[in-house]
Amino acid sequence: MTTTTTGGARPGATAPPGPAAKAKAKARHDGHGVRGSTRTFWLFAGPFLAGLLLFVYVPVGWSFYLSLFQAQNTVAPTKFVGLDNYADILTEGPFTDSLWTFTLFALIVVPLTYVLALALALLVHRISVARAFFRSVFFIPTACSYVVASMVWKLSIFNGVRFGLANTVLGWFGIEPIAWIGTVSPPWYWMVLVTLRLWLQLGFYMILFLAALQQIPKELYEAAWTDGARPGWQTFRHITLPQLRTTSVAVVLLMLIAAYQAFDEFYNLLPNTPYARPPLVYLYYTALGQGQDFGHGSAGALVLSALITMVTLLQGRIFGFGKADR
């Protein structure tokens, strides 16, 4: 016996889907896709967001809460004092003095780092021999710990006695040894602090500039030369620098924030001296080192955060951060 199959579906076979069924399946498929993507997003971003919430936003919130209380030798509030901690911080002297210290530090370090990192990037960009070697050589100090570098600067290079490296060199010219980190007038300690930061950071910013330099189309320079511009300062002034605008804004922003966060070199070179005490060192000693005053420490930390935010926004406004290059 044979079975006729013509004109009918076999039992158990699936009918070809019609347009409505196709649309339904597509919607179901898309729904699965969206849900799948959402799940994947939360799978990957969730732990990070939870960490951010738990270790950043909750402490910041707690810090604000704590700043309204007296919290001596405890991270639990004891007595509500309103804005007293803020008033104390902003009027007692050491904190405002520390703001001047880091402002001066930023005013010295930021322009110097910018100019030298850019100069270094231009040099490394131009050379054709051993380019990778020079990139590595200048970048390697970035990997060095601030603490280790501070110790080398303090104990070896800028050791204040006659056998310090810098003093040995001065001795060759008959110059008396200088107590580099021990003298306030003249303030030689700035030399130690600034050279240390330059050595540690120049390589990093050089790499950022180098990446940006490599993105500038050669045609721009060729067009400029065709129009009569001379290679050198003219092309740098009218081609290179404008093309680096976005990178420059980002670099200055990073350098400024890094200057605000100065801690390690001050802490290790000049621990808790009032003439060289940036805000983070002050807050460290207030909250942890000796004072154990977490109310004042929290108030100071929030004032500092607000200041950094304001300066960052102001800088973005002035330099047009985020605007497209013309």
Partner 1 sequence: MSPEQNHSTPFGRRSFLRASGTVAAAGFLAACGGNTGRGGSTGGKAISQWYHQYGEAGTQQAALRYAKAYTKADVSVQWIPGDYASKLSSGLVSSNGPDVFEFHPDVQMAKSGQIVPLDDIIADVKSDFTDKDLAANSVDGKVYGIRMIDDPQFLYYRKSLLEKAGVQPPTTFDELIDASRKLDKGGVKGLYLGLKAGSDILASPLVWATGSELLTADHKVAFDTPATVEGLKKMRELYTSKTLLLGAPTDWFDPSAFIQGLTAMQWCGLWAMPGIQKALGDDFGIVPLPGIGSTGRPVVYNGGWSTYVSAKAKDVDAAKAFVKWLWIEQTKLQEDWCTSYGFHIPPRKSLAAKATKLQSGTAAEAVKLFGTNGHYDDPYWTQAMMTISQDMVNNAVVSGKNPESEVAKARTRVEAELKKIA
Give 255-267 as a DSSP string.
HHHHHHT--HHHH
Tell whether residue 162 is a contact of partner 1 (CB under 8 A).
Answer: yes
Tell whether residue 181 is a contact of partner 1 (CB under 8 A).
Answer: yes
Q: Which is nearer to partner 1, 273 or 312 (CB)?
A: 273
- Give the whole-angstrom CA distance, residue 273 versus residue 278: 10
What one-character DSSP code corresponds to residue 278? -
Tell whether residue 75 is a contact of partner 1 (CB under 8 A).
Answer: yes
Q: Is the peptide bond before 141 cis (omega within 30 degrees of 0)?
A: no
CA torsion sign for 217, 218, 224, 229 is: positive
In whole angstroms, the minimum distance from the beta carbon of 68 to partner 1 comes to: 16
In whole angstroms, the minimum distance from the beta carbon of 309 to partner 1 comes to: 27
- Give the whole-angstrom CA distance, residue 208 versus residue 252: 11
With tokens 């050669």, the residue in question is 218
In whole angstroms, the minimum distance from the beta carbon of 173 to partner 1 comes to: 17
What one-character DSSP code corresponds to residue 176? P
Write out the two tokens for 292. Answer: 């154990």
Binding to partner 1 (CB under 8 A): which residues in 287-326?
288-294
Q: Which is nearer to partner 1, 36 or 274 (CB)?
A: 274
In whole angstroms, the minimum distance from the beta carbon of 155 to partner 1 comes to: 5
Binding to partner 1 (CB under 8 A): which residues in 95-134?
none
Tell whether residue 23 is a contact of partner 1 (CB under 8 A).
Answer: no
Non-local (6+) Cβ contacts of 38 within 8 A are: none
Interface with partner 1 by CB under 8 A: which range of 3-11, 124-132, 240-248, 285-293? 285-293
- Give the whole-angstrom CA distance, residue 288 versus residue 283: 8
Interface with partner 1 by CB under 8 A: which range of 61-69, 98-106, 157-165, 233-241? 157-165
Tell whether residue 284 is a contact of partner 1 (CB under 8 A).
Answer: yes
Tell whether residue 224 is a contact of partner 1 (CB under 8 A).
Answer: no
In whole angstroms, the minimum distance from the beta carbon of 302 to partner 1 comes to: 19
- Give the whole-angstrom CA distance, residue 46 versus residue 70: 35
The 3-state DSSP class for residue 184 equals: coil
Could you list the residues that contact partner 1 (CB under 8 A)?
Answer: 70, 72-75, 88, 92-94, 155, 158-162, 164, 178-185, 271-275, 284-286, 288-294
